[in-house]
């Protein structure tokens, strides 16, 4: 009853003021039932607790409140306001004690917004939440997945891109509540966002990460990611993307047969014949539409025309527009001209069109690689490479000092104070034998 | 003594090559009784092998068992040898020796290079695979064809010149292999490296083959060739660097490494001094240091001395070279990174090899 809630409020306030946040977390997790029983009074409780001082308590209450709510407009407005304010003012060090609760909170909050069709409100809130809970800018949290979901639903991609452009190095475990579903969703939604902004390279990378997640069972997310992976590879490279060796067996054994239609499309694509591709598309139109991939499939078709035009550059130096249209099986020279102009703009082809006689001249790549910009580019790539190497070395050192590893390597040898030189020589021989 | 007389009789009966045989028998060391059987028989193939067993115990000159032509025969080509080849052969031998239990190790390989007229330049070498059949070495022909294709892709202007092996002085087993190489090439060069040599000269001998009539039978004999060591600057520096790097227990560094080290220290010092001057100028701009016109005038003069050359053409060439160097270092960085990654993955696998497969998303961030 109300007394139980008062009890809860008093305990939480006193423990928080003492700074004993570990205790607070334990107490709070024990009292979730109490809170759940008194859902109606939770709003008053929220009013009494101060978000900054008693962040953990407020978080727990909010969690329960959000889970037990329906998405009427009034509810959403107030809840959104409360959550936004909470996340803006909550104290980071308190939150670090209960990252799983934070993740839960954000999850229910995001679901609520999506159900209420006002996803855009939550983007800023979740961005702040991520920044506060992340152990470092390179950690992946489950809130990332929710943020990307919201951005995708509200078609507002820039905030998500800011987070996605950073390569993830580590995953925050959130005290055991981090689920692989969040990981898969982050990369799947992320890939979709990159496809929407036409950054096909990164999209392919994200989808590839999704399908190479170690797995023992088929996940629908992986299945969808696989279908999109094939389509994006067709657009990007003009051929079916290579399934990496380290993808789990589940992919080849189960997922591939389930997405046979896409594989057929890829095979037809590789024959470079637009008619075949069109026939495959029209034959399987319902499947594509049902999977909501029809847009991508149409982009594949135009990618085929582009690929054919690029193949022409290898055989011809100049060609008339009519010829281009014929060889690539486009409907008219004007359409060919449109295609070529687009490709020149995006830098996919080097050519110049002579308007008077309708001739296209294919040029060589004018890049001589001797400019300062190229050197700056090389320098940047080298820095990236060195950064990766530094990280690998750090990870390697972690392993080398791991006592389990040392035991496995030295075997049944007794290590009672070996002299430094002999230890060095054994480690050298071990290193050289690795 | 009896054997020598028999030899001389046989030599008198033999035809044009009798003189070479006589020369050899006169220089023969005494007391080799088993040898006299060989010249009397008409040299069936098994005989030289058995004779060769004892013949190699002595130094080369047992008549009929010897594979050397007369001492007076002059080679038909002049040879220059690149030190890279010697390094390759010794590395091959050392590696083989380290891997095998037996201490008697013989390695075999092919020599490639260029031949112009009467001058042969041996530039590189690669290993050959062989099988032992009845104690004879048979070269694996398929492996050779495969390697030939590959090296033609990389070194398109180098041809097969001959073959090498290790050991003491040449004997009939070498001739057998030489005959096989003759199928691939008209007159191959034969190089023999003695890894157990005790003298300080280079224990490398080069031979070519001549067809001589011994007892009426045309046999292959070897003629020693004189060779010179051919080096170009870059090769000498590179080989020196590799040779010193590979002996890591000796702390000396190669000449090129010392040179680069000196340049590196000099540049580091220059960079620190330039940084000091820049800091001073910035500080006086901020007002932390008193504005000293004389010092600033000097700094201005210094800054105007560079760049020494600033034309359009210079800039083009300069960036060309800069970018080339940047590309090479990029390649080096990638290779080093691949190496680190490989080591890391090996250790990771070792650590986790018996653990369950359920590790969430470790590998995905690669």
Walking along chain A (434 residues) 10 residues at a time, the average pLDDT comes out as: 73 78 78 75 76 77 77 75 83 80 85 82 86 84 89 88 85 79 91 91 92 87 90 87 83 85 88 87 87 86 87 86 85 85 85 85 81 88 91 88 82 50 43 43
List pLDDT tens digits, range B191-249. Answer: 888 888 777 778 888 888 888 877 877 778 888 888 888 877 877 777 777 777 666 55
Return the higher-pLDDT residue of B338 and A413: B338
Residue B7 lies in a domain: no
What is the model's pLDDT at position B339? 92
d(CA A17, CA A372): 58
Are A194 and A162 within 8 A, CB to CB?
Answer: no
Are B172 and B67 within 8 A, CB to CB?
Answer: yes
What is the model's pLDDT at position B333? 94
d(CA A10, CA A12): 5
User: Which whole-number Å values give the CA distances from B130 to A418, B99, B109, B220, in the listed order?
Assistant: 44, 17, 9, 21
Residues of B with CB under 8 A from a CB of A: 316, 319-320, 322-323, 326-327, 329-330, 333-334, 336-337, 340-341, 343-344, 346-348, 350-351, 357-365
State the pLDDT confidence band at B25, using cuts at 50, 70 and 90: very low
Burial (CB count within 10 angstroms: exposed 0-12, middle 13-18, buried 19+), residue A25:
buried
What is the model's pLDDT at position A260? 87
d(CA A271, CA A276): 8
Q: What is the mean pLDDT of residues B325-353?
A: 89
Do B224 and B277 sit in the same domain of this protein?
A: no
Do B290 and B154 sit in the same domain of this protein?
A: no
Query: Which residue among B323, B327, B344 sits closest to A395, beta carbon to beta carbon?
Result: B344
Do B86 and B224 sit in the same domain of this protein?
A: yes
Contact of A374 with chain B, judged by CB distance below 8 Å, is answered with yes
Specify the pTM. Answer: 0.66
> A419 to chain B nearest CA, in Å?
18
Are A325 and A331 within 8 A, CB to CB?
Answer: yes
- Both tokens of B169, joined, read 């002085």
Residues in chain B with CB shorter than 8 Å from the CB of A401 are none
- Domain boundary residue, one of B230, B248, B283: B230
Do B225 and B274 sit in the same domain of this protein?
A: no
Do B97 and B220 sit in the same domain of this protein?
A: yes
First to last CA, chain A: 65
Residue B61 lies in a domain: no
Q: What is the mean pLDDT of residues B55-83?
A: 62
The CATH class of the A1-173 domain is mainly alpha
> B334 to chain A nearest CA, in Å?
6
Do B303 and B162 sit in the same domain of this protein?
A: no
Q: What is the mean pLDDT of chain B?
A: 75
What CATH number did the domain enclosing B207 receive? 3.40.140.10
Do B223 and B269 sit in the same domain of this protein?
A: no
> B355 to chain A nearest CA, in Å?
12
Residues in chain B with CB shorter than 8 Å from the CB of A409 are 350
Residue B243 lies in a domain: no
- Domain boundary residue, one of B293, B314, B335: B314
Residue B167 lies in a domain: yes
What is the model's pLDDT at position A207? 92
Domain ranges for chain A, please list them: 1-173, 179-310, 316-368
Do B202 and B286 sit in the same domain of this protein?
A: no
Contact of A382 with chain B, judged by CB distance below 8 Å, is answered with yes
Residue B175 lies in a domain: yes
State the pLDDT confidence band at B273, using cuts at 50, 70 and 90: very high
What is the model's pLDDT at position B249? 57
Residues in chain B with CB shorter than 8 Å from the CB of A250 are none
Do B165 and B286 sit in the same domain of this protein?
A: no
Fold type of domain A316-368:
Arc Repressor Mutant, subunit A (1.10.10)
What is the model's pLDDT at position A206? 93
Measure CA A139 to chain center. Answer: 12
Domain hosting B119: range is 78-230
CB–CB of A386 and B333 under 8 A? yes
Residues in chain A with CB shorter than 8 Å from the CB of B365 are 167-171, 209
Do B138 and B278 sit in the same domain of this protein?
A: no
Do B179 and B278 sit in the same domain of this protein?
A: no
What is the model's pLDDT at position A187? 92
What is the model's pLDDT at position B72? 65
- Residue at token pair 């999109």: A228
* Domains of chain B: total: 2
Do B95 and B171 sit in the same domain of this protein?
A: yes
On the question of pLDDT at B328 being above 70, the answer is: yes
- Check whether the bond before B307 is cis (ω within 30° of 0): yes
Contact of A378 with chain B, judged by CB distance below 8 Å, is answered with yes
């Amino acid at each position: 009853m109300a007394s139980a809630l008062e009890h809860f409020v008093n305990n939480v306030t006193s423990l928080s003021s003492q700074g004993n946040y570990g205790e607070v977390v334990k107490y709070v997790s024990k009292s979730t039932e109490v809170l759940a029983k008194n859902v109606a009074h939770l709003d008053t409780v929220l009013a009494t607790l101060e978000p900054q001082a008693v962040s953990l308590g407020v978080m727990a209450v909010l969690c329960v409140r959000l889970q037990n709510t329906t998405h009427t407009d009034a509810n959403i407005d107030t809840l959104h306001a409360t959550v936004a304010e909470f996340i803006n003012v909550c104290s980071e060090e308190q939150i670090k004690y209960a990252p799983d609760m934070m993740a839960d909170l954000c999850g229910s909050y995001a679901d609520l917004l999506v159900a209420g069709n006002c996803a855009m409100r939550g983007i800023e809130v979740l961005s702040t939440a991520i920044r506060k809970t992340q152990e470092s800018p390179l950690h992946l949290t489950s809130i990332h997945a929710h943020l990307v979901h919201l951005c995708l639903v509200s078609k507002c991609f820039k905030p998500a891109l800011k987070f996605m452009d950073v390569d993830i190095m580590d995953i925050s475990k959130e005290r055991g509540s981090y689920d692989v579903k969040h990981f898969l969703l982050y990369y799947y939604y992320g890939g979709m966002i990159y496809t929407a902004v036409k950054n096909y390279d990164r999209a392919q990378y994200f989808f590839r990460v999704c399908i190479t997640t170690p797995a023992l069972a088929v996940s629908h997310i992986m299945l969808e990611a696989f279908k999109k992976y094939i389509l994006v590879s067709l657009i990007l490279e003009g051929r079916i993307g290579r399934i990496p060796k380290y993808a789990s067996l589940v992919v080849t054994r189960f997922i591939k047969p389930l997405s046979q239609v896409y594989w057929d499309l890829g095979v037809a694509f590789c024959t470079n014949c637009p008619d075949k591709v069109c026939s495959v598309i029209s034959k399987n139109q319902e499947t594509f539409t049902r999977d909501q991939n029809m847009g991508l499939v149409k982009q594949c078709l135009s990618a085929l025309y582009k690929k054919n035009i690029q193949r022409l550059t290898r055989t011809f130096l100049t060609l008339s527009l009519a010829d281009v249209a014929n060889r690539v099986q486009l409907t008219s020279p004007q359409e060919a001209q449109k295609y070529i102009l687009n490709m020149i703009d995006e830098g996919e082809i080097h050519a110049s069109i002579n308007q008077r006689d309708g001739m296209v001249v294919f040029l060589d790549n004018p890049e001589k690689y001797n400019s300062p910009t190229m050197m700056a580019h090389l320098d940047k790539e080298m820095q990236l490479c060195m950064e990766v190497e530094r990280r690998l070395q750090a990870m390697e050192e972690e392993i080398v000092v791991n006592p389990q590893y040392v035991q496995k390597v030295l075997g049944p040898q007794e290590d009672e104070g070996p002299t430094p030189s002999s230890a060095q020589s054994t480690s050298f021989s071990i290193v050289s034998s690795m | 003594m009896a054997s020598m007389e028999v030899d001389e009789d046989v030599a008198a009966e033999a035809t044009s090559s009798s003189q070479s045989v006589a020369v050899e028998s006169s220089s023969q060391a005494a007391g080799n009784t088993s040898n006299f059987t060989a010249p009397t028989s008409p040299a069936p193939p098994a005989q030289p092998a058995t004779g060769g067993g004892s013949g190699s115990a002595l130094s080369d000159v047992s008549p009929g068992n010897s594979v050397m032509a007369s001492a007076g025969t002059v080679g038909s080509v002049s040879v220059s040898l690149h030190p890279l080849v010697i390094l390759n052969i010794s590395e091959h031998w050392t590696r083989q020796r380290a891997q095998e239990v037996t201490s008697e190790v013989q390695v075999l390989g092919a020599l490639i290079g260029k031949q112009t007229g009467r001058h042969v330049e041996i530039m590189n070498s690669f290993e050959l695979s062989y099988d032992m059949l009845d104690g004879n070495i048979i070269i694996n022909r398929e492996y050779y064809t495969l390697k030939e294709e590959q090296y033609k892709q990389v070194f398109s202007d180098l041809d097969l010149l001959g073959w090498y092996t290790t050991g003491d002085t040449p004997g009939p087993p070498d001739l057998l292999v030489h005959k096989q190489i003759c199928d691939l090439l008209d007159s191959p060069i034969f190089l023999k490296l003695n890894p157990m040599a005790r003298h300080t000269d280079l224990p490398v001998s080069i031979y070519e083959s001549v067809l001589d009539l011994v007892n009426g039978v045309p046999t292959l004999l070897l003629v020693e060739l004189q060779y010179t060591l051919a080096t170009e600057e870059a090769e000498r520096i590179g080989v020196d660097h590799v040779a010193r790097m590979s002996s890591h227990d000796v702390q000396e560094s190669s000449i090129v490494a010392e040179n680069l080290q000196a340049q590196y220290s000099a540049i580091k010092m220059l960079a620190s001094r330039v940084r000091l001057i820049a800091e001073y100028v910035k500080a006086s701009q901020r007002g932390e240091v008193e504005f000293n016109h004389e010092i600033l005038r000097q700094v201005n003069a210094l800054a105007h001395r560079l760049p020494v050359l600033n034309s359009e053409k210079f800039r083009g060439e300069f960036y060309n070279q800069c970018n080339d160097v940047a590309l090479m270092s990029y390649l080096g960085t990638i290779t080093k990174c691949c190496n680190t990654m490989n080591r890391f993955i090996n250790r990771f696998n070792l650590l986790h090899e018996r653990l369950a497969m359920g590790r969430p998303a470790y590998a995905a961030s690669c």
